[in-house]
Amino acid sequence: MRRRRRRSLGGVQKADLMDHVIWHAFSRASTVTTAQRSVPSGLDLTNIQWGILPEQLNPTFAVLKFQMSADLSDAKSARAAARTRITELDVEIEALQRLLEARLFERDKCQEELATYIYPVLTLAVRDYVGNIHPLHPSVSRTVPPARICRAWRTVALSTPTLWSAIELMLDNADSFEHLVQLLETWLTRSGGCPLSIALLCDYDVEISTTALVEAIVRHASRWQEIELLLPYDDLPQLTGVMPLLRTLTLGAETLRTASAPVADPVVIFTEAPNLKEVVLSEYFNPFCITLPWSQITKLTATLYDREAAAILRDAAALEECCLTLFYKLTSPIPPIPPLPRLRSLVLSALDTWRVAGTILLPALTLPALEAIKVFEPFLGSDPVATLSALRPHGYPPRIKIFGAGSTSDVITPHEMYAAAFPEAIVNVEL
């Protein structure tokens, strides 16, 4: 009797445990309804053995068993896949670590080899490479030599003439005249015997005298290679001396344009500069008051009146390139200018385009070697095609550029008109 009661108690304990398992499984299954979670009525829990279900629970338990088996299978597969991936990643990481170590070793070897090289420039003294500095183009520069970097650089800079061969002084009333003269003298002394590029520019309303400055640079005229001067008219006669190196001259003077014809005693300068080939004239220049060696000039850039340009061109037989900006002043026709046999390029533009109604210069020109012309169309007069055709006695220029062109008719455009008139030329027309 005691044994049977203990067995019965054991059966109840096992039934309770099984019931708990079934209930938990039912609660996890999404396909099992609330009615299926309840214990069927009439179920004798005392007859349930561990692992043995009565016939009335067989359908429900089959569903639970399938669901639990599927969950366990999926989890097992996921764990296996994760372990496999970890193994693969470990293999890849090990390979990358070996590659990184090899690259680091190779880099260290290259660095050691690089450290064995000796760069030649590092073996030079400062003087050796500063002494070989030359301007790429001998134009005026405001660059200050490295005289204030350190004592070594200062020593080298002060003993390297090429660093001092480009000089520019711009004068206005605020400048200390004594300081400028001293500064100019210092630069000229330190430049030694090097060819000079000098710019001495004076504002039109400056009240200080520039005579001492001009005298200082004239003492070194034999070394002038490129010079730019904007000076009071009274200082121009000082520009004398032999100038064998001079190639380029930019000149302007505060000359009031009161003279419209050659004066009796013009200033004649730069007559002893046999290599002077290029001249640039500012709008302050008046050729009726200043005479240059025009017969040797091959390139001219200037801002002039028509008659002033004509006066220069009469004497510039060697001219090859000419770029003129013309003031508007329509007067009586200019007599024919002797042919310019070497002139290949001509550019004519207007300073005040809105005032231009024509020019008296082009009809006076004969340019047998002209290859390219760029011209402001109003300068061509009422018959542009005829004006262009007359420039070359034996044909029109091969390259023609017209700017400031206006509409000639509603039927034909300016480009079509010029292209038809000069079919073998390269024509470019800008409205």
For residues 348 and 379, is the Cβ–Cβ distance under 8 A?
Answer: yes
Q: What is the H or E stretch that residue 374 is in?
A: strand 372-376
Non-local (6+) Cβ contacts of 92 within 8 A are none
d(CA 269, CA 43): 136
d(CA 114, CA 26): 75
Tokens encoding 119: 């760069």
Which among 340, 331, 276 is positioned nearest to 308, based on CA atoms?
A: 331
Average confidence score pLDDT of the chain: 76
Q: What's residue 59's pLDDT?
A: 56
pLDDT at residue 137 greater than cutoff 70: no
pLDDT at residue 319 greater than cutoff 90: yes
- 355 compared with 158, residue with greater pLDDT: 158
Non-local (6+) Cβ contacts of 235 within 8 A are 210, 211, 214
Span 396-420, mean pLDDT? Answer: 75
pLDDT at residue 246 greater than cutoff 90: yes
Sign for the CA dihedral angle at 170, 173, 175, 179 comes to: positive
For residues 368 and 374, is the Cβ–Cβ distance under 8 A?
Answer: no
pLDDT at residue 94 greater than cutoff 50: yes
Q: pLDDT tens digits for 382-406?
A: 888 888 988 988 888 899 999 877 6
Residue type (1 letter), 378: P
pLDDT over 70, % of the chain: 67
Non-local (6+) Cβ contacts of 179 within 8 A are none
Give start and end residues of each alpha helix (H) in 131-174. 151-158
pLDDT over 90, % of the chain: 28
Q: What's residue 357's pLDDT?
A: 53
Tokens encoding 62: 């089959």
pLDDT at residue 227 greater than cutoff 90: yes
Radius of gyration of the chain (CA): 50
- 51 compared with 163, residue with greater pLDDT: 163
Tell me the backbone φ, ψ of residue 303, rounded to 5 degrees.
-115, 110
Span 318-342, mean pLDDT? Answer: 88
Q: What's residue 90's pLDDT?
A: 92
**How big, in percent rounded to 5, are the helix, strand and coil portions of the chain?**
40, 15, 40
pLDDT at residue 11 greater than cutoff 60: no
Which among 341, 349, 409 is positioned nearest to 371, based on CA atoms?
A: 341
Cβ neighbours of 45 (radius 10 Å):
14
pLDDT at residue 321 greater than cutoff 50: yes
pLDDT at residue 124 greater than cutoff 80: no
In this prediction, residue 226 has a pLDDT band, given cuts at 50, 70 and 90, of: very high
Q: What pTM does this model have? A: 0.65
d(CA 142, CA 241): 26
In this prediction, residue 62 has a pLDDT band, given cuts at 50, 70 and 90, of: low
10 Å CB burial of residue 165 (0-12, 13-18, 19+) is buried
Q: What's residue 168's pLDDT?
A: 85
